[in-house]
Structure 1
Amino acid sequence: MRIFADRLAEQLSKQLHPTYLLFGNEPLLIQESRQAIRLAAAQQGFDERHRFAIDNSVNWNEIYDCCQAMSLFSPRQLIELELPEAGVNAAIAKELLSLAESLHEDILIVLVGSKLTKAQESAKWFKAFANKGCWVNCLTPDAQRLPQFVQARCRELKLQPDAEAVQMLAQWHEGNLFALTQSLEKLVLLYPDGQLTLVRLEESLSRHNHFTTFHWVDALLAGKANRSQRILRQLEVEGVESVIIIRTVQKELIQLLQMQQLAMQMSMTQVFERYRIWQSKRPLYSSALQRLNQTKLKQLLQLLSQIEVMTKTQYDDSSWPLLHQLGLELCLPQVKL
C-alpha cells in the first residue's frame, strides 16, 4: 500500500500496519509521519520504542534481540530504523531481508530513508517490508501539487483562503514547508475569523520560498518562462554561484541534444530508458524535446559557452542577464519559417 504523507493520519485511524516505510526528501513530512505513527502505536499498546541508525557499524544482534525478546515494560515494541543517506548496500539489504522474515504481531517496524531510486523500489528487502504494510511518500510537493497541500493544511487549521491566497502561499513557501507551517500558525492567531486574502497575506507575511537549480531546470524543461524567471531571480538574490547554474543547465542541454539524436534511431520510450529518466520527469523532457530541435539546442549551448567565458574572465560584468536570456530562449516555442 502506497500513500502520500498527508493521507497517513486517515490511514492510521482505520488500521495500524506492522510496517511503515517513510521515504522522501521533506524533513517536515518525515517528522510528522513518525510522530503520527508513534501516537497511533501507543494507543495500540506499543509502549516501548527503540531507534537505530543503520550503518556498517550497527549491531544487528541488538535489533534482533528487540524483535525476539519480551520487554519488561511492554510486550509490544515500536522499532525505528534510520537507513543511510547513501542508500542500502548489499550487507544491510541482507540483514533487512532477514529482519522482515522474523517479524510478528508484537513488533511494529518503521523504516526511514531519503528519496528512493528505482533500483531500491525493486529490491527484495524493500518489497518484503512494503508487502507487509504501508509505504508513505514523504517527497516535497512539487509546484503542481503544492496548492492542494496548502489547502489541506488550511482546512486542518480552520483557515479559509481564497484561490489567490492559496497560490500566493504556495509560491512564497515553495521548498520550505517548515516556514509554511509557521506562517499558517501565525495567520490563525492574527485572523480568528479564518478568512485569508491577498491583502491580509501581504500585510502579515514575507517570502520564505527556497529554490534550487533543479527547480529552475524543471521549469525550463516544461517551458514555463515566467516561473523559470522567478526562480532564477530568487537564486540570484540568494547568492547562488552562476557557475553552478551554468554547469547544471549545460548537463541538461547536452543530454537533450543526445536524446534528440538518439530519437532518430529508436522510440522515445527506449530513449528514456537509456538515460534512466524517471516516469515523473518524462513529461518534462517530452515537452522540451518537442519544443527544441537540434539546431536550437546547439545555439543554446553556444550561448551558454559565451556566458561561461564571460563569468570566468569579465569579473566586472554580471552574467545573470544572459542567463535570463538563455532561460527565455529555452522556454519559447520554436518559430517555424
Structure 2
Amino acid sequence: MRIFADRLADQLSKQLHSCYLLFGNEPLLLQESRQAIQHAAKQQGFEERHRFAIDASFDWHQVYDCCQALSLFSSRQLIELELPESGVNAAIAKELVSIAEMLHPDILLVLVGTKLTKAQESAKWFKTLHAHGCWVNCLAPDLQRLPQFVQTRCRALGLKPDAEAVQMLAQWHEGNLFALAQSLEKLVLLYPDGELNMVRLEQSLSRHNHFTAFHWVDALLAGKGNRAQRILRQLEAEGVEVVILVRTIQKELTQLLQMQQQAQRSSIAQVFDSYRIWQNKRPLYSAAMQRLSIHRLQSLMQLLAQTEILTKTQYDQPSWPLLHQLSVELCLPQVKL
C-alpha cells in the first residue's frame, strides 16, 4: 500500500500494519507521520519504543535483540530506524532484508528516510519491507496539490477559508509547511468563528514561502514566466549565490539539448526512458521540448555562459540582470515561422 502523508490518519484508524516506510523531503510530514504512528501503536499496546540512527558503524545486533527479546511478559515494541541521508548501501540493504524476515505481530517497524530514487523503489530491501506494510509519501506537495493540502488542514482545525484565502495561504507558505502549520494555529486563536478571507489573512499574516533552485527550474521547464521571475526575485533577495543557480540550470539546459538531439531519431517516450525522467516530471520536460528548439537551447547556453563569466570575473558588476533575462527567454513561447 502507498499513501500520501495526509491520508495516514485515516489508514491508521482502520488498520495498523507491521511496517511503515516514511520517505520524503518534507520535515513536517515526516514528523507528523511518526507521531501519528506512535500514537496509534500505543493504543494497540506497543509500550516500548526504540529509535536507532543508522550509519556505517551501526551495531545491528541492537535491532536483532529488540526483535528477539520477547516473552509472555514482554510488551510490544515499536522500532524506528532512521536511514542515512546518503541512502541505503549494500550492507544496510542486506540487514534490512534480514530484519524484514524477523517481523512478527509484537514488532512494529518504522523506517524513515529521504526522497526515494527509482533504483531504491526497485531494490529488494524496499520491495520486501513494502510487502509487509505501508509506504507513506512524505514529499512536499507540489503547487497543484498544495491548495487541497491547505484546505484539508484548515478543515481539521475548524477553519473555513474561502477560495481566495486558500490560494493565498498556499502561495505564502509554499516550501515552508512548518510556517503554514504555525500560521493556521495562529488563525485559530485570532478568529474563533473560523472564517478566513483575504482581508483577515493580510491583517494577521506575512509571507513565509521558501523557494529553492529546483522550484525555479520546474517553473522554467513548464514555461511559467511570471512564477519563474517571482521565485528568482525571492532567491535574489535571500542572497542565493548566482553560481549555484547557473550550475543548476546549466545541467538542465545541457540535458534538454541532448534530449532534443536524441528525439530526432527516437520517440519522446524512449528519450524519457533513456534519461530516466520520472513520470511526474515528464509533462514539464515535454512542455520545454515543445517550446525550445535545438537552436534556441544553444542560444540560451551562450547567454548562460555570459552570465557565468560575468559572475566569476566582474565582481563589481551584478550578474542577476542576465539571469533574469535568461529566465524570461526560457519561458517565451515557440515562435511560429
Q: Same fold (TM over 0.5)?
A: yes
2:264 is paired with a residue whose SS is: coil
Q: Does structure 1 retain, via aligned residues, the 8 Å contact 2:146–2:170?
A: yes
Q: Indicate whether 1:53 and 2:82 are aligned.
A: no
1:85 is paired with a residue whose SS is: coil
Q: Letter of the aligned partner of 1:78 in structure 2?
A: L
Structure 2: segments with no counterpart, 5+ residues: none
Q: Deviations over 1:100-145 (max 9, x none)?
A: 0111111110000010011111111111111111000000111111
CA distance in 2, matches of 1:31, 1:245: 30
Corresponding position of 2:28: 28
1:241 Cα shift? 0.9
CA distance in 2, matches of 1:208, 1:73: 50
Q: Does structure 1 retain, via aligned residues, the 8 Å contact 2:290–2:334?
A: no
Corresponding position of 1:303: 303
CA distance in 2, matches of 1:256, 1:182: 40
Q: Indicate whether 1:135 and 2:121 are aligned.
A: no
2:20 is paired with a residue whose SS is: strand
1:73 Cα shift? 6.9
Q: Deviations over 1:68-90 (max 9, x none)?
A: 11269743111111111111111
CA distance in 2, matches of 1:203, 1:243: 37
**RMSD over aligned Cα, in angstroms?**
1.2
CA distance in 1, matches of 2:320, 2:67: 57
Q: Does structure 2 retain, via aligned residues, the 8 Å contact 1:46–1:74?
A: no
> What TM-score do you get using the length of structure 1 for normalisation?
0.97
Greater Cα offset, 297-306 or 103-112? 297-306
Corresponding position of 1:187: 187
CA distance in 2, matches of 1:211, 1:25: 14
Corresponding position of 1:244: 244
CA distance in 1, matches of 2:73, 2:180: 39
CA distance in 2, matches of 1:119, 1:14: 31
1:28 is paired with a residue whose SS is: helix
Q: Does structure 1 retain, via aligned residues, the 8 Å contact 2:18–2:108?
A: yes
Corresponding position of 2:66: 66
Q: Indicate whether 1:97 and 2:101 are aligned.
A: no
Q: Indicate whether 1:115 and 2:118 are aligned.
A: no
Corresponding position of 2:328: 328
1:195–1:166 Cα change, 3 Å = same
Corresponding position of 1:215: 215
1:30 is paired with a residue whose SS is: helix
> What TM-score do you get using the length of structure 2 for normalisation?
0.97
1:266 is paired with a residue whose SS is: coil
1:151 Cα shift? 0.5
Q: Letter of the aligned partner of 2:27 in structure 1?
A: P
1:310 Cα shift? 2.1
CA distance in 1, matches of 2:237, 2:73: 54
1:314 Cα shift? 2.7
CA distance in 1, matches of 2:224, 2:74: 55
Identity of aligned residues (%): 78
Q: Letter of the aligned partner of 2:93 in structure 1?
A: A
1:330 Cα shift? 0.6
Q: Deviations over 1:22-79 (max 9, x none)?
A: 0001111010000000000000000111111112211111211111112697431111
Q: Does structure 2 retain, via aligned residues, the 8 Å contact 1:85–1:113?
A: yes
Greater Cα offset, 271-280 or 286-295? 271-280
CA distance in 1, matches of 2:138, 2:53: 19
CA distance in 2, matches of 1:17, 1:230: 43
Q: Letter of the aligned partner of 2:310 in structure 1?
A: M
